[in-house]
Amino acid sequence: MRVWQAIVAFFAMALLTLPAAADSTQGITATTITIGSIGPFSGSASGFTPLNYGAAAYLRYINDQGGVNGRKFDVIFADSACNEAKGIAAAKKLIFEDKVFMIMSNPCSGVAMAIKPMLVQEGVPWMGASANPRITTPASPGMFHTVYPGSEAGRAMATFAMSKPGTTKIALAMHSDDWAHGYCDAASEYIKAHGGEIVATTVLEHGATDGTAQALQIKASGAQAVMGCLYQPELVVLLRDLEKYQINTVVVAALGADFDQVMAAFPSHDWVKQHFFQPYQFQAPIATGPLKKFHDIFVKYLTKDELPKNGDPTNFYYYGVPVAIVAVEAFRLAGPNPTRESWEKAVESLKGFDTGVLADTETFSADNHVGVHKMYAVGLDAQGKETVYKSWGVALPNSE
């Protein structure tokens, strides 16, 4: 008898502890909207956390303006360490314990792909900054890219490189992971479709401390441009070796590196001038023009630990903001009694919405959950000044 009682009690407990599916107003009270922000707050990818902080700073700024329809945002950070297992645990905690309305930011494609089935099943919206295009293409319910997935950035890399007259021979320098393929596969497709040729594919794995073999392969291939689908440390290693061997090629790098931090690795700027570029996501150089407002928001609303230890907020802080801007706009449109369904409909209704940050306006539909496509490129001009380009040699007005 005791055995049966124990078995029944066990299953009763198990049923009680099973996560209940999130209801459509979970995370919303009369005065607050709770949002989960997953990021690599520890581990080797923690350089991406400014993406989380940028979004959080904007929500704190909105709170200071009175919030949306009387509700203020409560942001709960959760650490994924850019690790799938830890990311799933973090998402479970946010959804079932903290009962958040949505998940925001979430750099790290592997984590985003790992938590996607749970989010879709529970109906929890995701608005993130991960590069993998498969997160939102084809469109999945509640999953939105308000910043550029890797495929868009990859196409922008190739478009800019091929806008240099006569450029047809292009090499790929990449990690072998999913993230790098997100950029480089799209770049390759564009290059081949527009009469270009991939003349070399070289691999630099995470932790590489030397890029001699790769740089010399690029040299031997005669590549006129290189698509650098690399994280920041390995990108700097490759650039240093291209400089060392005086290889006269243009490198257009993916968004796994922060432009300002890469520049800091080349204090003299001699070789990187007119050699190194990245797709540029913004309307203007950071901290200038329309982006000045966001610089001030970061400085005012982020804590000392959240801001860079030295210098001004970098590119990644700004890149984190559009997620929050679009989410807030959707809450405005969803009215005083938002539900998940009405919030998602509000996002899908956005057409040509200007975030004031990104180079492109946001346009969504029921079939298209990627809001932005058009990008510029950033690099140093011949005088060494940071400049935003529409295409090779064509600077954005007032960007120099």
Partner 1 sequence: MMLSLLPQLIVSGISSGMLYALIALSMTVVYRATTVVNFGQGDMVSAGAYAVFVFGMGFGLPFLVAMALALALLFVAGFAMQRWLMQPIIAGPHLSLAMMALAVGYTLRGALRLEWGNETINLTRPYPQDVYMLGNVVITTDDVAICGFVLLLFAALFVLLQVTPLGKVIQATFQSQRGAALVGINVPAFHATMWGGGAALGAIGGVLLAMITPLTPDLGQWTLVQGFAAMTLGGFGSLGGAVAGGILLGLTEKLLGFYVNTMFIEITGYLVPILVLMLRPQGLFGRRAVVRV
Would you tell me which residues interact with partner 1 (CB under 8 A)? Answer: 42-44, 46-50, 176, 202-210, 212-214, 216-217, 219-220, 232-233, 236-237, 240, 244-246, 261, 264-265, 308-309
Smallest separation (angstroms) from partner 1 to the CB of 260: 11
Smallest separation (angstroms) from partner 1 to the CB of 301: 18
Beta carbon nearer to partner 1, 287 or 307:
307
Smallest separation (angstroms) from partner 1 to the CB of 233: 4
- Give the DSSP H/E element, type plus range, for residue 298: helix 292-301
Q: Which three-class secondary structure state does DSSP give residue 30?
A: coil
Beta carbon nearer to partner 1, 120 or 203:
203
Beta carbon nearer to partner 1, 197 or 210:
210
Beta carbon nearer to partner 1, 62 or 238:
238
Beta carbon nearer to partner 1, 33 or 51:
51
Q: What is the dihedral of CA 268, 282, 381, 385, to 10 degrees?
A: -50
Smallest separation (angstroms) from partner 1 to the CB of 202: 5
Beta carbon nearer to partner 1, 205 or 354:
205
Cα separation of 397 and 202, whole Å? Answer: 36
Q: How is the beta sheet containing 143-145 ordered, strand by strand?
A: 72-79, 32-39, 102-105, 126-128, 143-145
Smallest separation (angstroms) from partner 1 to the CB of 173: 9
Smallest separation (angstroms) from partner 1 to the CB of 307: 11
Cα separation of 386 and 400, whole Å? Answer: 7
Alpha helix segments (H runs only) across 194-231: 212-221
At a CB cut-off of 8 Å and minimum separation 6, what does 7 contact? none
At a CB cut-off of 8 Å and minimum separation 6, what does 9 contact? none
Q: What Rg do the C-alpha atoms of the chain give, in angstroms?
A: 22
Instruction: Assess contact for 355 and 328: CB atoms under 8 A.
Output: no
